[in-house]
Amino acid sequence: MSIPSLSLKDKVAIVTGSRTGIGRAIALAFAEAGAQVTVCDLIIEDGELEAAAEEVRKLGQRSLTIQADVSRKSDVENLVQKTVDEFGSIDILVNNAGVLARAPLLETTEEVWDKVINTNLKGCYLCCQAAGRRMVEQKRGSIINITSAAGIRPIPYRAAYGTSKGAIITLTQTFAMEVAQYQVRVNAIAPAFVRTDMLAKALKENPERANKIVAEIPMGRVSEVSDLIGAALYLASDASLWVTGHTLVVDGGYLAGDYVAA
C-alpha cells in the first residue's frame, strides 16, 4: 500500500488575503511543497504582497500578484481568469481573506456588519463559485475555507465575525455535497486565537485579556500561523482525497469544552 503524499508538485493554488499572517504562511508552505501560487490581497501599496510573491519565487516556484477585493464579483472573476491565463488551471483555492470587528451587537453599526459579512462570507461564496466552476470542468480540485472557532463557539462582542464564520461552515458543507461528484473537495479549517499582527497588538495592549485567553486554551498558548500549515497541506494534497465537507479544528483544545488552567 502506498502512503499518500503531501506534495503539491505541479499544482496551482490561489491564496486570498496572503499579504501577511495566515495567508502568507500558507502560500509559502504550498510553494515549498511544489505549488505555483497566486497571492492576492486588497492592500498592495505597502509592497508586502509583492514581497510574499518574491518569497514564493525564491522557493523555486512561479507566482502571480493580484490586487482583489473578494467582496466584488468582478475582482474575483479577474483573479481566477488571470490565474488560469498564467498557469493553465486552478487546483487549490484557500479562502483566507477576512476582517474582524469587535463590538457588542447593540453597538455594531450597519456599515461594520456589512463590511464583515461582505468580506468574510460573500467573499468566500464568490471565490468558491468562480474557482469551483473551473474545478468542476477539470474534474479535480480542493477548496479550503478558513473559518474560526468563533463560528462554532460564540464569543461575546464578535457577533458579525462569528456569524460570518459560522455561515462559512454551512457553505463548506453544502458546496462539498454539490461538487463531490466532480471530484472537487471543499473543506474548512477552524483556528482559534492565531498570533497575527492584529492579535499580537491587542494582547500587548491588554495583558489581562491575554492571560484570560491563554487560560482557556488547554495547550497553554495562542496559536502561531505555523500551527495551521500542516492542516492546510493535508487538505490541499492527495493525502485527503476522501475528505470533503469537513471542518478541521486547529485550536489547542479550545473547543474541547470549558477549561480552567490548573
DSSP 11-36: -EEEEET-SSHHHHHHHHHHHHTT-E
Query: Is 64 within 8 Å of 86 (Cβ atoms)?
Result: yes
Nearest to 100 by CA among 194, 180, 186, 33: 194
Q: What's the grid cell of residue 96?
A: 483566507
Three-class DSSP labels, 156-219:
CCEHHHHHHHHHHHHHHHHHHHHHHHHCEEEEEEEECCECCHHHHHHHHHCHHHHHHHHHCCCC
Active-site positions read 161
**How many angstroms separate the CA atoms of 138 and 130, rounded?**
13
**How many angstroms separate the CA atoms of 83 and 197, rounded?**
28
Segment (H or E) for 129: helix 123-138
**How many angstroms separate the CA atoms of 87 and 138, rounded?**
14
Q: In this structure, what are the phi and psi dihedrals at residue 244, rounded to the nearest 5 degrees?
A: -155, 150
Q: In this structure, what are the phi and psi dihedrals at residue 255, rounded to the nearest 5 degrees?
A: -90, 0
Q: Is 253 helix (H, G, I), strand (E, B) or coil?
A: coil
